[in-house]
Structure 1
Amino acid sequence: MTKLGVIVGSIRKNSYSGMVANAIAKLYPSDYEVEFIEIANLPLYNQDSDANSPAEYTDFRAKVASQDAILFVTPEHNRSVPAALKNALDIASRPWGENVWAGKPALIASQSISNLSGFGANHHLRQSLAFLNMPTVQQPEVYLANSQNLFDEDGQLVNEGTSDFLQTAVDAHVELINKLA
């Protein structure tokens, strides 16, 4: 059983990123155990806490450490990732030398209600993951534009072309995970 952790960059209820993450998670093989890892409850990272980490830090780090691979789905905030996602990256990569992200194969999907598709967030996240030593799917790159048009009123993906495209990204992620196993 391969354990896949899903990190959603938006902490808003009923977010499009959450809907995209749910749609992508359903495309993984049946022998994948998918766990959505919450980031909304994490206090802001403070290096002074490294000596005596809050329970939220310790629990989050343990959840990330227990995963075999990670799926990140994020919106774009001001041409970058949301603060909650950056905070989560920092918490699980600290204290120095105890980076629990390292070596976990990642897939990034960004989305936006505009035509820009979260391009800036996707690339900023790629930069951080390179530093965190996370092998990341390079192709296909997943940028979803006009995400508000991809789902029905129940939050289900209704665009077949998008679903087919997302399956190619999941297949590439599974291939990367298998190569590194």
Structure 2
Amino acid sequence: MKVLGLSGSLRAGSHNAKLLRAAGDLLPPEADLTIFDGLKAIPPFDEDDEHTRPDAVQALFDAIAESDAVLVATPEYNHSIPGQLKNALDWLSRPLAESPLRNKPAAVVGTSTGLFGAVWAQAEARKVLTAIGARVLDRELPIGFADDAFHEGGLADPDQALALAGILAELAGEAKPAARPALAAS
């Protein structure tokens, strides 16, 4: 099973990229996480360009289409999601009927340097993903004080690591193909 990780933060030392790497270590054994690293190259959404997607946008479309599930890790900017993440999601919504997010299992987690751990941004990201048609888990994982939330092995707080593992197990369960009945032997 392929899970695509998408960090809403562009900076090299991003706490949300660390959160995605921690998630990669906690995924069930049958799942692999690939972190999409091309968010910074996605140009501003322009309806005039939606039918001839720029290469960076097509790369994101393809990465999501090839995945079984999507995990978004977002910081909180001004009580919402970062503009570049919202911009990428806008691209993914057009045309809506062709969005690779339609019916795709997705989860949102987040961390920030403040007390609340990107709670509002997580809610906003879930709302946007739902509007696009993703099957979004109704779960959140607010990790505050991100400067101290990680150590070399992942999340410093074992309860937060356990909560993240639970979200990932639920996401993996949603991504598994429906069981097919066995064919009768003739």
Q: Structure 2-normalised TM-score? A: 0.88
- Partners of 1:166 and 1:86 lie apart in 2 by 23
Q: Shift of the alpha carbon at 1:180? A: 5.8
Letter aligned with residue 126 of structure 1:
R
| Secondary structure of residue in 2 paired with 1:12 | coil
Matched residues in 1 for 2:178 and 2:147: separation? Answer: 35
* Partner Cα separation in structure 1 for residue 71 and residue 57 of structure 2: 20
Instruction: Give CA-to-partner distance per residue, 1:100-122, whole Å, 9 cap, x none.
Output: 11111011102111112111101
Unaligned runs of 5+ in 1: none
Aligned to 1:161: 159
1:54-93 paired onto structure 2 within 5 Å: 54-93=54-93
Unaligned segments of structure 2, at least 5 residues: 180-186
What is aligned with 2:182?
none
| TM-fit CA distance, 1:30 | 2.2
How big is each residue's C-alpha offset from its partner over 1:64-119, in whole Å with a ceiling of 9 and x where there is no partner?
11111000000000111001111111112213432111111011102111112111
Query: For 1:113-170, what per-residue CA distance to the aligned partner results, in whole angstroms no more than 9, with x for missing partners?
Result: 111211110111111111111111114x211111211123x58433222212211221
CA RMSD of aligned residues (A): 1.8
Q: Counterpart in 1 of 2:21?
A: 22
The structure whose Rg is larger is 2
**Closer, same or farther: CA 129–71 of 1 in aligned 2, 3 Å:** same
Determine the C-alpha separation between the residues in 2 that align with 1:174 and 1:98: 23
The aligned residue for residue 184 of structure 2 is: none
Residue 8 of structure 1, CA deviation: 0.4
Write the deviation string for residues 47-69 of structure 1: whole angstroms up to 9, x where unpaired.
11123222212222111111110
Using the alignment, how far apart are the partners of 2:178 and 2:91 within structure 1?
25
| Secondary structure in structure 1 of the residue aligned to 2:150 | coil
1:8 is aligned to 2:4: no
Q: 1:155 to 1:41 in 2, by over 3 A?
A: farther
Give the paired residue count: 178
Match of 1:174 in 2: 172
8 Å CA contact 2:96, 2:132 repeated in 1: no
Which residue in the other structure is 2:46 paired with?
46
Question: What does residue 130 of structure 1 align with?
Answer: 130
**Alignment identity in percent?**
25
| Distance in 2, Cα, partners of 1:10 & 1:126 | 16
The answer on whether the counterparts of 1:47 and 1:95 sit within 8 Å (CA) in structure 2 is: no
> What are the within-5 Å matches in structure 2 for residues 134-145 of structure 1?
134-139=134-139, 141-145=140-144
TM-score (normalizing by structure 1): 0.90
